[in-house]
Amino acid sequence: AQKVTQAQTEISVVEKEDVTLDCVYETRDTTYYLFWYKQPPSGELVFLIRRNSFDEQNEISGRYSWNFQKSTSSFNFTITASQVVDSAVYFCALSDTGTASKLTFGTGTRLQVTL
Amino acid sequence: AAGVIQSPRHLIKEKRETATLKCYPIPRHDTVYWYQQGPGQDPQFLISFYEKMQSDKGSIPDRFSAQQFSDYHSELNMSSLELGDSALYFCASSLAGEKLFFGSGTQLSVL
């Protein structure tokens, strides 16, 4: 069975701090995809990244970076120099099969960035 | 760029009523997904369609049904609504099983 664990329920940081959101997953599939989505207070789900299980290269996109460690089944997300607009709930998700046909989400981490 | 369009944005119904949610996927996307997100919960997969055929099914109640039409839009029909059906319902679409793009959701409140 697929499972995604986001142990941090809520994180509060001051603007300009760096923050890392943890994600640990379980799957029996050898081919899978991992995702991060952002859900701001307005409610929509915003796609951030998709990573396939064969690509362990870390990725950086502006202030965002992702660290995929297959050995520890983790896919952590770091925001550098956080801003108030980063305040949202962040979901880590895992695909059910080799394609993104069905996502299993973690319970989300609520990030609060204050001035 | 065109995104996934969902309507209505908000819907208020009473118990035992019926509701229909609509989803218009991104043009040329071949797969549509429906997810339900209860208050303070993570989104849960309900059902998906690939090229107008049901492709996968999750924890969708028997009171719910869905279909994808020839123009690729999809509708989620919910009957005999219960208080517990109050949730944010997301539609998402993808092309060839690539990354899912979500709509803004329909907030359903059952009173």
pLDDT in tens, A76-112: 999 999 999 999 999 999 986 655 568 899 999 999 9
The B residues from 45 to 74 touching A (CB cutoff 8 Å) are: 45, 48, 55-56, 58
The DSSP output letter for A72 is: G
Which SS3 state, helix, strand or coil, does residue B83 take? Answer: helix
Please tell me whether the peptide bond between B27 and the residue prior to it is cis, using omega within 30 degrees of 0: no
Are B31 and A91 an interchain contact pair (Cβ–Cβ within 8 Å)? no
pLDDT band with cut points at 50, 70 and 90 for residue A24? very high
Looking at chain A, the whole-number percentage of residues with pLDDT higher than 70 is 95
Side-chain-facing half-sphere of A52: CA atoms under 13 Å: 11
Name beta bridge partners: B50.
Answer: B31, B53
Rounded to whole angstroms, how far apart are CA atoms A68 and A66?
Answer: 6
The A residues from 62 to 91 touching B (CB cutoff 8 Å) are: 91
pLDDT in tens, B13-72: 999 999 999 999 999 998 999 999 999 899 999 999 998 899 888 889 999 999 999 999
Are B43 and A106 an interchain contact pair (Cβ–Cβ within 8 Å)? no
Rounded to whole angstroms, how far apart are CA atoms A60 and A39?
Answer: 20
pLDDT attached to residue B84: 95
